[in-house]
Amino acid sequence: MAVPIPAAPVELQQDWDVPEQIGLWTDVWRRFRRNRIAVLGAVVVAILIIDAILAPLLVHFGIVQDPIKQDVTNSFAGPSVGHLLGTDQLGRDMLSRLMHGAQISLTIGILVQGIILVIGGTIGLISGYAGGRTDNLLMRFTDIWYAFPDLIFVLVLVSVFGASLLSIFVAIGIVNWVGLARLVRGQVLSIKEKEFVESARAVGSSHLKIVLRHLVPNALGPVIITLTFGIPQAIFLEAVLSYLGVGIPPPTPSWGVMIQDGYQAIFSAPGQVAFPAIAVAITMLSFTFIGDGLRDALDPRMKR
């Protein structure tokens, strides 16, 4: 095992490689840019983020209405020139609330997935790759984590650290990584027995290289789906927390809270639910497109 490989053959092997030496991720980026739908997804996400950042500025310059200004004589109004998407139950401008709601909902949706990816991905990779006792201990740990009540955990966290955006997304992220960990582990368990991993090991690749080069790209498909499906769930969970009184207090708008408020009037004013739900759907679809594009870019079999 420890026999040093002579220098010459290694150099020869370099010559066999593709004529133009580029790194995996440069190649991925290059192919990602060529995927039109993926780029469209990225553009939409960028627009949503810019919109969330610029919303207060647009209100300041009078282009968009104030999101918390009430006008109860004009509640549940349909779309008009003054209110492009109509008004809600307190006569607040829907368009403005949607744009401001993007601040909280996008932050929660995206950052929570980041936390889930880091914790769940790492534990799943280690557990699946190491196997044996490590695997068993880590998986029993996730069983414990899965079983204990997240509602209590969120209540404790929020009451200790206060109902800030930070404590809410840490709380949601920390209770939701378990599913991803198990999914990644399941993928790794089956991928690590495949021929290309065996040959990578035979060539003498380090564990880190096998994990990053072979396991991560091949386990990515289900991971992307879990994360994109997690975005709406995190957005709704934030609304549930607000409802229980431990979330972000009103009148700050968020998509989840807008759906929850609007659903009381789903029969008479369906737009109250439909518009925020469409916003959530667009966000999720954009990330799905980005994720699918990323997976295709990582898949060498897709090379033309």
The residue ranges that bind another protein (CB under 8 A) are 131-132, 135-136, 139-140, 143-144, 146-149, 151-153, 155-156, 159-160, 178-179, 182-183, 185-187, 189-190, 193-194, 221-222, 224-226, 229, 232-233, 236, 239, 244, 256, 259-260, 263, 266-267, 273, 277, 280-281, 284-285, 288, 295, 299, 301-302
Which of residues 27 and 71 has its CB atom nearest to another protein in the complex? 27
User: Three-state SS for 93?
Assistant: strand
Which of residues 93 and 238 has its CB atom nearest to another protein in the complex? 238
Least distance in angstroms from the C-beta of 147 to another protein: 3
User: Three-state SS for 84?
Assistant: coil
Which residue blocks in the chain are alpha helix, DSSP H?
7-16, 24-34, 36-60, 94-130, 132-147, 150-161, 165-191, 195-203, 207-209, 216-244, 255-262, 271-298
Q: Quick one: which of 127, 184, 178 has its CA closest to 150?
A: 178
Euclidean distance between CA atoms 5 and 12, whole angstroms: 12
Give the number of residues written for the chain: 304
Least distance in angstroms from the C-beta of 228 to another protein: 8
Which of residues 44 and 139 has its CB atom nearest to another protein in the complex? 139
Which of residues 81 and 152 has its CB atom nearest to another protein in the complex? 152
Show the tokens assigned to 85. Answer: 């998407």
Which of residues 202 and 301 has its CB atom nearest to another protein in the complex? 301
Euclidean distance between CA atoms 2 and 110, whole angstroms: 45
Element (H, E) at 92: none
Least distance in angstroms from the C-beta of 20 to another protein: 25
Least distance in angstroms from the C-beta of 51 to another protein: 18
Least distance in angstroms from the C-beta of 82 to another protein: 27
Q: Counting beta carbons within 10 angstroms of the beta carbon of residue 108, is it exposed (0 to 12), middle (13 to 18) or buried (19 or more)? A: buried
Least distance in angstroms from the C-beta of 72 to another protein: 24
Which of residues 64 and 248 has its CB atom nearest to another protein in the complex? 248
Instruction: Dump the DSSP string for 32-43.
Output: HHH-HHHHHHHH
Phi, psi torsion values for 303, nearest 5 degrees = -60, 135
Helix 271-298 with 36-60: angle, nearest 10 deg: 140
Least distance in angstroms from the C-beta of 36 to another protein: 13
Least distance in angstroms from the C-beta of 297 to another protein: 14
Q: Quick one: which of 171, 189, 197 has its CA closest to 124?
A: 189
Which of residues 53 and 156 has its CB atom nearest to another protein in the complex? 156
Which of residues 212 and 265 has its CB atom nearest to another protein in the complex? 265
